[in-house]
A and B are shown apart, each in its own frame.
Chain A
Amino acid sequence: MKILVCITHVPDTVSKITFSDNNTRLNPAGIQFIIGPYDDYALARAVEIKEANGAQVTVLNVGKADTEPTIRKALAIGADDAVRIDVEPQDAFQVARLIADYVKANPFDLVLMGRESIDYNGGLVHGLVGELLGWPSVSPVMKLDLNGTTATMAKEVEGGKEYVELTLPFVAGCQEPIAEWKIPNMRGIMSARTKPLQVLADTGAALSSEVTSFDLPPAKSAVKIIPSDAAEQLINLLHTEAKVI
Chain B
Amino acid sequence: MKTLVFVEFEAGKVKKSALEAICFGRQIAAGPVAVVAAAPAGTDFAPLGAYGVDQVLHIADPGFDMPEAQPLATALAQAASQLGADAILLPKTSLTDATAPRLAAKLGAAVASNVMAIVDATPGNFTVKRSVFTGKAFAQTRLAGGKVVLTIKKNSIDVAEGNASAVSVETFAPSIPASDHAVKRISVEKATGQVLLPDAEIVVSGGRGMKGPENWGLIQDLADALGAATGCSKPVSDMDWRPHHEHVGQTGIKVSPNLYIAVGISGAIQHVAGINSSKVIVAINKDPEAPIFKVADYGIVGDAFEVLPKLTAAVKNLN
Residue of A nearest to B73 (CB): A131
- The answer to whether B104 and A128 have CB atoms under 8 Å apart is yes
Which of A162, A215, A225, A228 is within 8 Å of B185, CB to CB? A162
Given A166-B184, A212-B141, A228-B300, also A121-B111 (CB < 8 A): no
For the A-B complex with A225-B298, A244-B279 known, give 20 more contacts whose Cβ atoms are closer than 8 Å: A17-B136, A37-B250, A92-B101, A124-B101, A131-B105, A136-B70, A140-B94, A159-B190, A161-B189, A175-B251, A176-B244, A210-B142, A212-B141, A213-B140, A217-B138, A220-B294, A231-B314, A232-B317, A234-B298, A234-B314
How many A-B pairs with Cβ below 8 Å?
Answer: 257
Which of A132, A140, A223 is within 8 Å of B105, CB to CB? A132
- The answer to whether B94 and A157 have CB atoms under 8 Å apart is yes
Chain B residues with CB under 8 Å of chain A are: 68-70, 73, 93-95, 97-102, 104-106, 110-114, 127, 130-134, 136-145, 179, 182-191, 194, 196-199, 202, 226, 244-245, 250-251, 258-259, 269-270, 273, 276, 279-280, 282-283, 293-303, 306-307, 310-311, 313-315, 317-318
- Report B218 CB to chain A, min CB distance, Å: 13
Given A127-B101, A245-B226, also A215-B138 (CB < 8 A): yes
- The answer to whether B245 and A159 have CB atoms under 8 Å apart is yes
Chain A residues whose C-beta falls within 8 Å of the C-beta of B184 in the assembled complex: 164-166
- Report B299 CB to chain A, min CB distance, Å: 5
Residue of A14, A161, A245 most packed against chain B (CB within 10 A): A245
- Report B312 CB to chain A, min CB distance, Å: 9
- The answer to whether A163 and B141 have CB atoms under 8 Å apart is no
Chain A interface mostly helix, strand, loop or mixed? mixed
Chain B residues whose C-beta falls within 8 Å of the C-beta of A121 in the assembled complex: 113-114, 130-134
- CB of A177 within 8 A of chain B? yes
Residue of B179, B276, B282 most packed against chain A (CB within 10 A): B282
